[in-house]
Amino acid sequence: MALITGGALAAAVSRAGGLGIVGGGYAGTVGGEPDLEAELRIAKSEKFGVGFITWALSQAPAMLTRALKYSPFCVFLSFGDPGPFADEIREAGALLVCQVQCMADIEPALRAGAAAIVVQGSEAGGHGASRSTFPFLPEAADYLKPHSPETLLLAAGGIADGRGLAAALVLGADGVVVGTRFWASAEALTKKAHTDKAIAANGDATVRTKALDALRGVGWPRQYSFRFLQNKLSNEWVNREEQAFQAFGSLAQRYAQARADDDLDTVAVVCGEAIGIIHERPSAESIVRSMVEQAENILRNGVERWVRS
């Protein structure tokens, strides 16, 4: 999660038994990102990974080289062809994790040597495409079984508690990638005003659109849209995507000022549909432990009911 997942959050998740991923985001190609190397130094106290938006990393490939000097366990790439970076990642001793948004993305990830595939559904906060998590997941599982059974399969999008974890495991996942739930954690870099607004809302309050990226002048490929909480700006533009592309970058200065002023009528509060089941901002450790405990109880009790029947 660009601008959100720093070293403290990644380390906390790993200490609790997960694998924390430091958000390398746009690889320094947009303003306002944290100092990635400073965050990696914090994360190094635990096993950690680092993630990048692939198309942005292609504009600043030296950032990958710098990140690999901190010996991440894995590099998480999403939104673009991972192939050009695969050799450098492998030679540095890190595993490649590739997030995909459609079935057509899986084969290029396998050719690049991905140790894990993350299928991301459109329920996720931030950027994504159009597939829904739970139909996408078993289809990907069925594909990997004959083509690359050794590749781990992870699910992302709409998973924020043990119910989602249990459902993903039943549908063929080896694990899950969790965004919004950790976006609203004590260790995240998320501003309090953002989490306060989100926690007071529900999943109906999110919107997915391409208009905001166009208006703020960030060159996302057209196949990806952006989910965040509705606000005054999104209400003005959500059904005017083509007009927004024609006005590309016209609100860049206004958006930057709004970010500085924390003007949430303009700035995106980036969260997914799962925000509707999030009501507080606890520690990352408590999130990991409660998710696992709830999933274990669901799966155990489900099996017991099935055996008794």
> In terms of domains, do 210 and 185 share one?
no
Distance CA 6, CA 28 (A): 14
Per the structure block, which two tokens stand in for 172?
């063929």
Q: Which of 159, 189, 219 finishes a domain?
A: 189
- pLDDT, residue 225, reads 98
- pLDDT, residue 30, reads 86
Structural domain boundaries, residue 230: 192-274
- pLDDT, residue 306, reads 54
- pLDDT, residue 146, reads 98
CA-based max dimension of the chain: 63
Domain contains 104: yes
Q: What share of the chain is helix, strand, coil (3-state, %, to 5)?
A: 45, 15, 40
> In terms of domains, do 44 and 164 share one?
yes
Mean pLDDT for back-to-back runs of 10 residues, the chain (309 residues): 95 98 94 93 97 98 98 98 98 98 98 98 98 98 98 98 97 98 98 97 97 97 98 95 98 95 97 98 98 96 63
- pLDDT, residue 81, reads 97
Domain contains 280: no
- pLDDT, residue 31, reads 78
> In terms of domains, do 175 and 39 share one?
yes
> In terms of domains, do 22 and 156 share one?
yes
- pLDDT, residue 308, reads 55
How many angstroms from the chain centroid is the CA of residue 257? 25
Look up the pTM and report it. Answer: 0.95
Number of domains in the chain: 2
Q: 133-147 vs 162-170: helix axis angle to the nearest 10?
A: 40
> In terms of domains, do 239 and 184 share one?
no
Q: Which own/partner contact pairs does 292-296 have at CB distance under 8 Å and 24+ positions apart? A: 292/17, 292/162, 292/165, 293/162, 294/161, 294/162, 294/163, 294/165, 294/166, 295/162, 295/163, 295/165, 295/166, 295/169, 296/162
